[in-house]
């Protein structure tokens, strides 16, 4: 009975999520042109982000994680994002189902590390979020992970990660500059990392700095748990085209990570 309800709930959840995006007009502006032949139009590298791939789990789990990363990479590599166009992670990647080719790998669910179809996609979301964040793009929707499951061996800086969950959480970003951009992404399996970069048809018109500060540590209830955190992240921008420009904060978010059992 519970499985029947879960199967019934998923399409409803997805429809509600899409309806919310539709009300905001996002789907009308989703970037969808993906063509490596356009590379020579984007000669200026704005930013590059590198994220290590966690080396945890059985050989099968690790292989499935790489498979999912490579499959998702095919759907975002060389994506052109024209001025005012929007990148939606869920729109580009699609539902993380077996029917769409995804396999079981680690996911964070209700404060635990489990395995489910599509595991590993949050690593890509975190990586490209950092690229867009440091490029100065407008962040329309971003969610942190519910827990800091890896502790000191985490693959991201606290406050600068991005979690995605089909029908619940998306990563949505707008190119609010006047410069056409192209997102490039690759999975470097032998090096154990993923790498994304954002290229423009003109140089980046501003400087960016990002600061994340731990506001509070949420102490674990017992030694079998990892700490939780409350982290504030701010982005500051300085227009290089205006000589008298000063640093201005244009983005602020607070991330909450609950204490969790050690995995």
Q: Identify which of 148, 192, 185 has the alpha carbon closest to the alpha carbon of residue 55.
A: 192
pLDDT, residue 8, reads: 62
Task: Give the residue ranges of the chain where pLDDT is below 50.
Answer: none
pTM, 2 dp = 0.93
Question: How far, in Å, CA of 128 to CA of 197, rounded?
Answer: 8
Q: Report, in angstroms and rounded to the nearest whole number, the Rg of the chain calculated over CA atoms.
A: 19
Residue with tokens 């100065």: 136
Residue with tokens 């500059």: 177
Two tokens, residue 55: 């080396």
The residue count of the chain comes to 263
pLDDT, residue 230, reads: 99
Cβ proximity of 105 and 61 under 8 Å: yes
Two tokens, residue 21: 């995006």
Residues 6+ apart with CB under 8 A from 58: none
pLDDT, residue 4, reads: 54
Beta bridge partners of 147: 258
pLDDT, residue 217, reads: 98
pLDDT, residue 176, reads: 97
pLDDT, residue 137, reads: 98
Question: How far, in Å, CA of 218 to CA of 261, rounded?
Answer: 13
Q: Identify which of 165, 56, 69 has the alpha carbon closest to the alpha carbon of residue 109.
A: 165
pLDDT, residue 241, reads: 72
Q: For helices 59-73 and 121-135, what crossing angle results, to 10°?
A: 40
The domains of the chain are located at: 9-203
Residues 6+ apart with CB under 8 A from 11: none
Residues 6+ apart with CB under 8 A from 1: none
Question: How far, in Å, CA of 228 to CA of 220, rounded?
Answer: 7
Q: Identify which of 140, 160, 137 has the alpha carbon closest to the alpha carbon of residue 210.
A: 160
Question: How far, in Å, CA of 124 to CA of 122, rounded?
Answer: 5
Q: Strands 248-257 and 225-226, how do they pair?
A: unpaired
Q: Strands 138-141 and 112-117, how do they pair?
A: unpaired
């Amino acid at each position: 009975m519970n499985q029947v309800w879960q199967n019934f709930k998923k399409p409803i959840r997805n429809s509600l999520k899409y309806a919310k995006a539709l009300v905001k007009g996002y789907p009308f502006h989703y970037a969808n042109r993906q063509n490596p032949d356009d590379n020579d139009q984007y000669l200026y590298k704005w930013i590059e982000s590198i994220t290590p791939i966690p080396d945890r789990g059985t050989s099968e789990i690790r292989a499935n994680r790489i498979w999912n990363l490579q499959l998702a990479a095919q759907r975002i590599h060389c994506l052109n994002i024209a001025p005012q166009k929007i990148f939606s992670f869920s729109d580009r990647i699609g539902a993380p189902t077996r029917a769409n080719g995804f396999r079981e790998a680690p996911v964070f669910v209700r404060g635990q590390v489990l395995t489910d179809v599509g595991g590993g996609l949050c690593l890509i979301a975190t990586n490209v979020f950092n690229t867009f964040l440091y490029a100065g793009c407008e962040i329309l929707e971003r969610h942190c992970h519910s827990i800091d499951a890896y502790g000191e061996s985490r693959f991201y800086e606290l406050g600068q990660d991005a979690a995605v969950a089909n029908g619940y959480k998306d990563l949505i970003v707008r190119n609010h500059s006047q410069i056409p951009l192209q997102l490039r992404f690759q999975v470097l399996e032998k090096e154990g990392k993923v790498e994304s970069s954002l290229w423009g048809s003109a140089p980046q018109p501003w400087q960016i700095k990002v600061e994340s500060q731990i506001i509070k540590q949420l102490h674990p209830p017992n030694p079998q748990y990892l700490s939780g955190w409350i982290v504030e992240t701010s982005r500051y921008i300085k227009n290089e085209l205006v000589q008298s420009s000063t640093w201005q904060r244009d983005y602020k978010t607070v991330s909450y990570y609950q204490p969790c059992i050690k995995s």
